Amino acid sequence: MTAAPLSAWGNLGWPPAAEVRRCGERGAPLPAVAGTLLPYGNGRSYGDSCLNPGGTLLAMRGLDRFIAFDAGSGVLACEAGVLLADILAVFVPRGWFLPVTPGTRYVTVGGAIANDVHGKNHHAAGGFGAQVRSFELLRSDGSRRRCSPTDNADWFAATVGGLGLTGVITQAELQLRRIGGNAIAVHNRRFTGLDEFFAANAEAEHAHEYAVAWIDCLAKTPRGVLMGGNHVDAELPAPRGERNVPLTPPFSCINGLSLRAFNAAYYGKPWPTAQTVHYQPYFYPLDAIGHWNRIYGPRGFYQYQSVVPPAAAREATGEMLAAIAASGQGSFLAVLKNFGARPSPGLLSFPMPGTTLALDFPNHGAATLALFERLDAIVRAAGGRLYPAKDARMPAAMFRAGYPRLAEFTSYVDPKFSSGFWRRVMENN
């Protein structure tokens, strides 16, 4: 038993867990503890959905073994604490890739399932849950269930996107996909204004398996760069080693001046229309700088990620960007993309058809929270929702409005399990 400072990516100063228990054997029972439990993967969630202040965190990284791989079907069985980075390191050289991957490869398989994470190819492939063939769910009563879309399908639906609240995923079977090399053919296109974005994005989704836009949220007229990508049969050398932000500076390095300068320079840099790159910089540009979250200083930062349905997408996205630009707050990490129509398998999965906007905000206290309230009103009026994996402050009413299957989900929550997020949105209202 050790107390370790397990934190969330936003560094917003949450109170710590009372204790941390490390899971190392997938056959071992859950520890008997007096309070509540929550599995903790690699802490790449931004807010308190991966934290359990005052309770126990079950650190899952010790379950880090590959179990079996079928080279005929591409089905990989592995423990839930395996990182996506480990899967890629072993299987890309063998010609296999993850069918869905988020914007960092430093997440665990268990964490990716529990948030039903999405990637740049949601329009074509759906979310992470769609590539999960099965997993084992261990509950605090000692029961173990094999869950798949056909086996204990109700538990499968509750646990994919289930925020770690239905029990511990000990191991999973993932469907990998064939690739002919480690390279991605990228097509870059600058756009100005949302009409141009939506038109260009429709073309990009047709021509490319992956499509995502970086957007300058501080510009008066939204502008950005749309990056379409496809796997190609080519091998490129891996990029040189990662850099690291060695410590948290005593103040945030992010302010209006540095943001505007960065965004203008980034937008203005020479973007080749077509280029072939190693998969890492295309999928994981931020992974090149270890602990980049430290640049926000000791007060930390928020991410605000919403999705709004297609009919309201143009107007609501425009309103949100106008509110952000007017506030003078915002980030260089603004991402805009469309989710496709493939239904998410989870009762609480975040993706739904529509347009998702994700932005990081330095924590300026009341001013930042006031901006979020304005954005909440736009998202709610549009019939949208916020992403719990990125959230650190959504009001209970916002969560309830966004997740119509919440009542159904609650009957699957393990009575011993809870999180800071869960108490915030379920108890404090």
Ligand X SMILES: Cc1cc2nc3c(=O)[nH]c(=O)nc-3n(C[C@H](O)[C@H](O)[C@H](O)COP(=O)(O)OP(=O)(O)OC[C@H]3O[C@@H](n4cnc5c(N)ncnc54)[C@H](O)[C@@H]3O)c2cc1C
Least Cβ distance, residue 42 to ligand X (angstroms)? 3
Q: Near ligand X by CB under 6 A, which window of 39-47, 89-97, 139-147, 310-318?
A: 39-47
CA distance 38 to 188: 41
What is the separation, in whole angstroms, between the first and last Cα of the chain? Answer: 34
359 binds ligand X (CB under 6 A): no
110 binds ligand X (CB under 6 A): yes
174 binds ligand X (CB under 6 A): no
Task: Count residues near ligand X (CB under 6 A).
Answer: 32
Least Cβ distance, residue 332 to ligand X (angstroms)? 13
- The residue assigned the tokens 């039903």 is 116
160 binds ligand X (CB under 6 A): no
Candidate list 20, 30, 50, 125; residue touching ligand X; CB under 6 A: 50
CA distance 147 to 155: 6
Phi and psi of 167, rounded to 5°?
Answer: 135, -175
Nearest residue (CB) to ligand X, 118 versus 416 = 118
Whether 321 and 330 have beta carbons less than 8 Å apart is answered as no
Least Cβ distance, residue 395 to ligand X (angstroms)? 19
- Both tokens assigned to 146: 């094999």
Vertex 426: Cα angle to 423 and 427 (nearest 5): 65
Nearest residue (CB) to ligand X, 115 versus 182 = 115
78 binds ligand X (CB under 6 A): no
Least Cβ distance, residue 30 to ligand X (angstroms)? 11
Least Cβ distance, residue 425 to ligand X (angstroms)? 13
CA 282 vs. chain centroid, Å, equals 16
Query: Which x/- pattern over 113-142 shows residues binding ligand X (rule: CB under 6 A)?
Result: -xx-xxx-----------------------
217 binds ligand X (CB under 6 A): no
Nearest residue (CB) to ligand X, 56 versus 327 = 56
Instruction: Classify each residue of 123-139 as buried b or exposed e, where b means 16 or more C-beta atoms within 10 Å of its C-beta.
Output: bbbbbbbbbbebbbbbb
Nearest residue (CB) to ligand X, 80 versus 87 = 80
Nearest residue (CB) to ligand X, 39 versus 330 = 39
Least Cβ distance, residue 71 to ligand X (angstroms)? 26
Nearest residue (CB) to ligand X, 80 versus 321 = 80
Query: 3-class DSSP state for residue 344?
Result: coil
Strands (E), 114-246: 132-138, 144-147, 168-175, 177-178, 183-192, 210-216, 223-232, 243-244
- 338 vs 100, 126, 342, 348, 365, CA distance in Å? 15, 11, 12, 19, 30
Candidate list 17, 98, 158, 168; residue touching ligand X; CB under 6 A: 168
226 binds ligand X (CB under 6 A): no
214 binds ligand X (CB under 6 A): no
Least Cβ distance, residue 174 to ligand X (angstroms)? 14
Candidate list 202, 286, 341, 396; residue touching ligand X; CB under 6 A: 286
CA distance 82 to 91: 13
Tell me the angle at which helices 310-327 and 366-381 cross, rounded to the nearest 10 degrees: 160
Candidate list 47, 55, 111, 161; residue touching ligand X; CB under 6 A: 111
Candidate list 17, 163, 184, 227; residue touching ligand X; CB under 6 A: 163
- The residue assigned the tokens 């379950």 is 63
Candidate list 17, 30, 37, 60; residue touching ligand X; CB under 6 A: 60
Nearest residue (CB) to ligand X, 36 versus 182 = 36
38 binds ligand X (CB under 6 A): yes
- Both tokens assigned to 78: 């592995």
From 142, 150, 151, 136, select the one nearest 67 (Cα to Cα).
136
345 binds ligand X (CB under 6 A): no
Candidate list 87, 88, 98, 112; residue touching ligand X; CB under 6 A: 112
CA 244 vs. chain centroid, Å, equals 21
Candidate list 389, 392, 394, 398; residue touching ligand X; CB under 6 A: 389
Nearest residue (CB) to ligand X, 41 versus 300 = 41
Nearest residue (CB) to ligand X, 46 versus 327 = 46
39 binds ligand X (CB under 6 A): yes
Cβ burial of 374 (10 Å; 0-12, 13-18, 19+) is middle
Q: Report the 10 Å Cβ neighbour count for 240.
A: 7
- 44 vs 129, 185, 282, 296, 395, CA distance in Å? 18, 28, 19, 16, 22
Query: In this structure, which amino acid lies at residue 5?
Result: P
Residue ranges in contact with ligand X by CB under 6 A? 9, 38-45, 49-50, 60, 80, 102-104, 107-108, 110-112, 114-115, 117-119, 163-164, 168-169, 286, 389
